Amino acid sequence: MGQGRVFVTGSSRGIGQAIAVRLAKEGWQVALHASSPGEEMEKVRKAIGKQVKGVYYMDLSHADRAGELLRRVLEDGPLNALVNNAGVYLPLDFVGAGEASFKANWHRTFAVNFEAPVFLMRAACAAFAKAGGGKVLNVASRVGFRGEPGAAMYAASKAALINVTRSLAAELAPKNIQVFGVAPGWTETAMARSGMEERLDEILAGIPLGRMATPEDCAAAVSFLLSPEASYLSGVVIDVNGASYFH
């Protein structure tokens, strides 16, 4: 069963939605987040029902406001876990992109994928330290370990998230704060790479298990890490990639 209240960013669709629904079924009270209101969020709220304990909206590209968002969540009740799931994937021609496009890609990618999670973690972990403990789960990516053509900024942002996860796990362990992550490979979500359907045979040929991950596959790994069964784990980043990459 759940261990209290969890805040899941980017929970209106894809992996974040699957995480929110899974955790709610396991007894967690779930605080939801999206960049703006919409039909997708309303569907999630309806699916989770009484387990919803707050709905919050903020565009995380304004990363310096992320701490303010977390404090709003805390004003509505105690928090036991934070899931940093919200992310953006913006394809980039590293050499061919114009200067303005390159800088816009760089700043938005790092703001949403790395800077906002860091500010959220700072605010959450300060509260966890006062409360005697808590859990942080960061959704990274396979490309944070291996890189990918056309995704230099995305890969770099996820690599940064992986390494801050490891460092904070060691730093915050004495405060009874666990920090871990999951690193999905190819996943069937709305944020999947452009042109994926045309490359489907090529993609599946590189996955020994023969299929892409589902959002529910990722949510299962998150569920385990946030459960009491993972009480001795911290700093680990679980690969969810069908045996397509090892490191």
Return the pLDDT at 46.
97
Looking up tokens 């955790």, which residue turns up? Answer: 23
**Residue 154 among the catalytic residues:** yes
Order of strands across the sheet that contains 177-184: 52-57, 29-34, 5-8, 81-84, 134-139, 177-184, 237-240
pTM for this predicted structure: 0.96
Return the pLDDT at 236.
98
Q: Please name the residues in contact with 168: beta carbons below 8 A apart, sequence gap of 6 or more.
A: 121, 125, 136, 177, 179
> Domains, the chain, ranges and CATH?
5-240 (3.40.50.720)
Of 135, 219, 128, 127, the C-alpha closest to 169 is 135
Helices (H), 76-214: 99-110, 116-131, 143-146, 152-172, 200-205
Return the pLDDT at 192.
60
Give the C-alpha separation, 69 to 226, whole Å. Answer: 22
The per-residue pLDDT string of the chain (247 residues; one tens digit each, 9 = 90 and over) reads 457 999 999 999 999 999 999 999 999 999 999 999 999 999 999 999 999 999 999 999 999 999 999 999 999 999 999 999 999 999 999 999 999 999 999 999 999 999 999 999 999 999 999 999 999 999 999 999 999 999 999 999 999 999 999 999 999 999 999 999 999 999 998 656 666 778 889 999 999 999 999 999 999 999 999 999 999 999 999 999 999 999 9
Of how many residues is the chain composed? 247
Looking up tokens 């960061």, which residue turns up? Answer: 138
Return the pLDDT at 2.
53
Look at phi and psi of residue 4 and say left if phi exceeds 0, alpha if psi is from -120 to 50, else beta: left
Question: Pick the catalytic residue: 56, 57, 89, 154?
Answer: 154
